[in-house]
Amino acid sequence: MSQLKMGFRWFGSKDDDISLSQIRQIPGTKQVVGALFDVPVGAVWPQAEIDALKKEVTDAGLKLEVIESVNIHDDIKIGLPSRDKYIANYIQTIKNLSKAGIKVICYNFMPVFDWLRTDLHHQLADGSNAMMYEQSKLPHDPEALMDQMKTGSRGFSLPGWEPERLAALKDLFAAYKDVNEEKLVANCKYFLDAIMPTCEKYDVRMAMHPDDPPKPLFGLPRIYKNVEDMRRIEGLHESRYNGFTICTGSLGENPVNDLPAIIREFVPKDRVPFMHVRNIKFVNKQGDFHESAHPSSEGSLDMFEIMKALHDTNYDGYIRPDHGRNIWNEDGRPGYGLYDRALGITYLTGLWEALEKM
Ligand code: DNO
């Protein structure tokens, strides 16, 4: 029986209320998806710190083979001359990670903001809460959105929302002024062409995460929103090391995206080293949604069809549950509490066992 390489995202002993021993007790979970969260974006990840994280995870009886994320410095996305320095740093980070046995790096190419929501604790009818996105609640002013995310996070650090990077938001927006979709794609190609030889030599696969939500916001371009975008990114550099994270939640936020079809197209081409599997629930025809528990019955995505597509295509890459709700009085980092993600894992591994035995 082929086992899923199931992982659980962890924010490190300094910044996560969840312990490695708790993660180890989640059935079917052998992998931790981790990162160094205190290295500034653009700097080389020090070997000693990577090795220390690796040792901590292995000492707890778990594996660390996937990093989420090594974020890309804005100068690379903007295409400034200084990008070469940051790309050289990125290459060194890939080498250092490879020495610690890392096989996959999840990253994104979103300008300024990583994922975003308009409510990080939306109250659901069953008493739990989950993150929500409502277009009408998105402020026009990006500064106001930052305040909203900061207040909403209730003191938790949020992945991709580095305060030091976003401190000069107006300058950052100004720097992106001339970056349209074509330029962003060209800058992505420049980056991929530069790092791919190292990825191939050191056997580290890049897995780009979709834009979340998958549409342009605040006038900033987005390049990984749908299947056409994936075909374009795939063609930027022909290599199995130029791959995707297929995040069912992020892509699923646009109902036009046919997730099983996307999986059936890209897994056989060996372009999917990493899967994020979560569900969302649309609340109206305009595409507003809140995140939901993983089962199909709780949201708008057909999780069986998603797992079946992975099974039919012999998926053997890494996978993790994604955002969960806060349940059972847990007050966890938005999307990243213990209980609902653990429930998500048992559900996904249950679907997988059934598919294996059918
Ligand atoms: C949010 C995450 C993202 C994701 C990055 C990958 O919860 O899905 O922050 O990790 O976009 O680079």
Nearest to 35 by CA among 16, 19, 61: 16
107 as an active site residue: the answer is no
Kindly name the residue from 247, 294, 318, 347 that is annotated as catalytic: 247
Pocket test for ligand 1, best of 68, 250, 276, 325 (most atoms within 8 A of CB): 68
Ordered per-residue pLDDT tens for the chain, 358 residues: 578 999 999 999 999 999 999 999 999 999 999 999 999 999 999 999 999 999 999 999 999 999 999 999 999 999 999 999 999 999 999 999 999 999 999 999 999 999 999 999 999 999 999 999 999 999 999 999 999 999 999 999 999 999 888 999 999 999 999 999 999 999 999 999 999 999 999 999 999 999 999 999 999 999 999 999 999 999 999 999 999 999 999 999 999 999 999 999 999 999 999 999 999 999 999 999 999 999 999 999 999 999 999 999 999 999 999 999 999 999 999 999 999 999 999 999 999 999 999 9
250 phi/psi in degrees, rounded to 5: -60, -50
pLDDT for residue 274: 98
Q: How far is the CA of 335 from the centre of ligand 1 (A)?
A: 11
Give me the pLDDT at residue 63, please. 98
pLDDT for 2 equals 78
> Which residues on neighbouring strands pair with residue 32, listed in sequence order?
8
Closest ligand 1 atom to residue 107 Cα is 12
Neighbour-count burial for 155-189, b at 16+ CB within 10 Å, e otherwise: ebebbbbeeebbeebeebbebbeebeeeebbebbb
- pLDDT, residue 24, reads 98
Domain count for the chain: 1
- Which domain does 167 fall in, by range? 5-357
Q: What is the CATH number of the domain that holds 241?
A: 3.20.20.150
Is this prediction's pTM over 0.85?
yes
Q: Identify the residue whose tokens are 């009085």.
A: 329
Please identify, by atom number, the ligand 1 atom nearest to the C-alpha of residue 110: 11
